[in-house]
A and B are shown apart, each in its own frame.
Chain A
Amino acid sequence: MTLLSAPVETVSTGRLQISDLPRLARRHPLVVIGGSLLALMIVLALAAPLYAGDPLNMDPFKRLQPASAEMWFGSDNLGRDVFARTVFGARISLIVGLTSAAGAALGGLLIGVLAGYSRGFDSIAMRVMDGLMSIPTILLAIALISLTGPGVGILIVAISIVQLPSVTRLVRSVVMSVRERPYVEAALCGGARLPKVLWRHILPSTIPALMVQSAIVCADAILTEAGLSFLGVGVPPDIPSWGNMISSSRLYLAIAPLTIFAPGICLAVMVLAVNLLGDGLRDLFDPRSKRRR
């Protein structure tokens, strides 16, 4: 669901200095809240083996136990520790979210810059993007995954492809507006070669918008991964992921609601953190948007 992919306009922010940071943090609390929440989740996920039990260990005698001192979130239908699974599940969400966002951002940047600069390439690339955008994201991801069967690798590739059009369009629109600016013409007239102009003068101006869009893509990717895993076509069932956990526990909602709500709430908090970060970055780079919203 690309609900958040509203067009982002940016103005250049000038050079940032360390001494500006406290002032910026006060003025943009969303970046701080979203960023620290996300950082906390990354640390908790990385440090999982230090404090959580084995997420894969099954204990048939302790099936669907309520929360206890031993197992904080109780156990699932196979007697596995829900707390450990929830903590380890964060890893998959983060890996898929961050790498898909990076993949879509890099791919979109490359195609977007080329399309913004070359008319011939533009017309082909944009028709391809129009086509990609016309297939609902979940269906397109499902179709791509169906080629090889579920797996983390194909999942990341599929989500990156699905998210490619929004990034490409954004980068293209920025490049098209920047390339007419006098300083770009000046650089070209001064004898700079096109690749150098693209790298030194055009690429940097796409960064603010790209960062905001990457956050939106990352939130979307985390949701898509969870949705696909919930449908049984995402992460293979032997890897603990929030979507898998919810899917395998759905029959036990009445008996052990924590098996669903623990990963569900973590998922919502993680996506919220990334969305807040994205909203905050948008305000930071484009002060006008704050008044408009």
Chain B
Amino acid sequence: MTAYILRRIVSTIAVMVMVGIFVFLLLRLAPGDPAAIIAGKSATAEMIAGIRERLGLNDPMPVQFIRWVGDMLSGDFGTSIFAGRPVLELIAQRLEPTISLSIVTMILSVTVGVSFGILAAWRAGGLVDRILTAFATLGFSVPVFVIGFFLIYLFAISAHWLPVQGYKPIGQGLGPWFVHLILPTLTLSLAYIAFIARIARASMLEVLSEDYMRTAAAKGASSYAMLFHHALKNAGAPILTVIGLSFAGLIGGVVITETVFNIPGVGRLVVDAINNRDYPIIQGVLILVSGLYVLINLAVDLSYTLVDPRIRY
């Protein structure tokens, strides 16, 4: 067990080093001089030379890489070219809306998705199952922003039930915060509900065909007990894996949803950074988001033993 955990942690670090090399090389591989890119089109030769000196671009690449990683480990992710403030500070300011949106979306998707999946597996081939299968295919195909504008048109512009866009910090009251999150969360959730339901269904179907399920039925267990006590526990591991893996897709959806609903989150920060060619911000967000993704999947892997005691490493 300990050996497995150690191995898993080492491989996580290896992946992060890979990500680090990518993100580092990104700017260095760009056509042209990174300092000139950063300085912009109207920069003079002295300005570019100054930036080169300041960023240490005259040192050998490995030296630059190690210094860059060392800076990040001590919490220095560089300074925004456009805003002139530390990248970490800028990201921290934008964190609340993004985290609110992601967590509420995840909670909604997992509860609704797993419930639908169980329901569909319980009566496989039935009406719920058919509707769900159709809904799942549709959920994969309709882009997040189309769903978003459709919901805005329906619930905000036509019915006036919900605000069109914007975000209210949770500090200004739970009510406004929640009301502003309803549409973005629904928008983002549909694809995940479809996805998680599909996996939950497949995973449940597999378990439901096991011998011990027949035994439980023969001994007179209720459908409820069979589904939730016997089957769901055993179907948990694949569902958990998928939830961890879908985090990467969630981030992509968050970036787009933030633009649709004009939410001042990390996604907007990145999109604005591209228009300003603000590379330190792009690099910082890339590293932090990827790190979070890798850590979530590490946690998922390690939690298998809690979900399923039969798994031993």
Binding site for B on A (CB under 8 A): 1-4, 127-128, 130-140, 142-148, 219, 223, 226-227, 230-233, 246, 250, 253-254, 257, 260-261, 264-265, 267-268, 271-272, 275-276, 279, 292-293
Within 8 Å of chain A (Cβ to Cβ): is B253?
Answer: yes
Residues of A within 8 A of B27 (CB): 147
Q: A146-B274, A227-B143, A227-B144 are in contact. Are A272 and B289 (CB under 8 A)?
A: no
Task: Check if A136 sits within 8 Å of B149, measured CB to CB.
Answer: no
**Contact across chains for A226 and B143 when beta carbons are under 8 A apart:** yes
Q: Is B178 an interface residue (CB 8 A)?
A: no
Collect the chain A residues with CB atoms within 8 Å of residue B277's CB: 146
Q: How far is the CA of A243 from the CA of B259 in the complex (A)?
A: 13
**B-side contacts of A138, CB under 8 Å:** 251-252, 255-256
B111 interface residue per 8 A CB criterion: no
Which of B18-26, B63-71, B213-221 has 4 or more CB atoms under 8 Å from chain A? B18-26
Q: Which of A4, A219, A254 contacts B157 (CB 8 A)?
A: A254
Bound Cα distance A118, B290 (Å):
29
Out of A137, A231, A246, A292, which one reaches B146, CB within 8 Å? A246
**Interface residues of B, Cβ cutoff 8 Å to A:** 14-16, 18-19, 21-23, 26-27, 29-31, 133, 137-138, 140-146, 149-150, 152-153, 157, 191, 195, 202, 205, 246, 248-249, 251-253, 255-256, 259-260, 270-271, 274-275, 277, 279, 282, 285-286, 289-290, 293-294
> Which 8 residue pairs spanning A and B have beta carbons closest together?
A131-B18, A138-B252, A264-B146, A1-B249, A272-B141, A136-B251, A271-B141, A147-B30
CB-based contact B289/A136 at 8 Å:
yes
Cβ-defined partner of B286 (8 Å) among A3, A143, A226, A279:
A143
Bound CA span A42–B138, Å: 21
Known: A250-B149, A292-B202. A137 touches B18 (CB 8 A): no
With A135-B286, A135-B290, A146-B277 as contacts: A219 and B252 at CB distance below 8 Å: no
Task: Check B282 against A146 for contact (C-beta < 8 Å).
Answer: yes
Given contacts A233-B274, A271-B142, 7 further A-B contacts (CB under 8 A): A142-B274, A226-B145, A253-B149, A261-B149, A264-B146, A272-B138, A276-B137
Known contacts: A231-B259, A253-B152, A268-B141. The answer to whether A136 contacts B248 by CB under 8 A is yes
B15 touches A227 (CB 8 A): no
Q: How far is the CB of B68 from chain A (nearest CB, A)?
A: 16
Some 12 contacts from A to B, beta carbons below 8 A apart, are A1-B191, A2-B248, A3-B249, A134-B18, A134-B293, A136-B252, A138-B252, A260-B146, A264-B146, A264-B149, A268-B146, A271-B141
A134/B255 in contact, CB under 8 A: no
Verify A232–B18 contact, CB threshold 8 A: no
Nearest residue (CB) in A for B260 is A250
From residue B199, how far is it (CB to closest CB) to chain A in Å?
Answer: 8
- The reply to whether A264 and B143 form a contact with Cβ atoms under 8 Å apart is yes
Residues B259 and A139 in contact, CB atoms below 8 Å apart: no
The listed residue with most B CB atoms (<10 A of its CB), out of A134, A145, A271, is A134
Contacts of B150 in A (CB 8 A): 261, 264
A33 to B: closest C-beta gap in Å? 11
Give A133's nearest chain B residue, CB to CB: B248
Are A253 and B255 in contact, CB atoms less than 8 angstroms apart? Answer: no
Tell me, in angstroms, the Cα distance from A133 to B247 when the chains sit together.
12
A99 to B140, CA, bound (A): 21
Contacting residue for A246 out of B141, B145, B248, CB 8 A: B145
Q: Is A147 in contact with B31, judged by CB distance below 8 angstroms? A: yes
Chain A residues with CB below 8 A from B251, complex form: 136, 138-139
Q: B137, A130: Cβ atoms under 8 Å?
A: no
CB within 8 Å for A131 and B141 given contacts A136-B290, A146-B279, A230-B256: no
Q: How far is the CB of B57 from chain A (nearest CB, A)?
A: 16
Give, as a whole number of angstroms, the nearest-CB distance from A228 to chain B.
9
A44 → chain B closest CB, angstroms: 18
Contacts of B14 in A (CB 8 A): 127, 130
Whether B18 and A233, one on each chain, are in contact in the complex, defined by CB atoms closer than 8 angstroms, is no
Name the CB-closest residue of A to B149: A260
Q: Are B285 and A132 in contact (CB under 8 A)?
A: no
> Which residue of chain A is the closest to B258 with respect to CB atoms?
A231
- Shortest A227–chain B CB gap in Å is 5
Given A131-B15, A257-B153, residue A139 in contact with residue B252 (CB < 8 A): yes
Q: Which residue of B lies closest to A5 (CB)?
A: B245
Q: How far is the CB of A161 from chain B (nearest CB, A)?
A: 10
Note all chain B residues with C-beta closer than 8 A to A139: 251-252, 255, 270, 285-286, 289
- Once A253-B149, A260-B149, A279-B137 are accepted as A-B contacts, the answer to whether A137 and B248 lie under 8 Å apart by CB is yes
Min Cβ gap A182→B in Å is 31
Residue contact A145 to B289, C-beta cutoff 8 Å: no
Complex Cα gap A226–B252 (Å): 13
Contact residue among A133, A142, A264, A292 (Cβ-Cβ distance under 8 Å from B270):
A142
A64 to chain B minimum Cβ distance, whole angstroms, is 15
Q: How far is the CA of A148 from the CA of B277 in the complex (A)?
A: 10
**Contact between B253 and A1, CB atoms less than 8 A apart:** yes
Partner of A143, one of B16, B26, B145, B202: B26
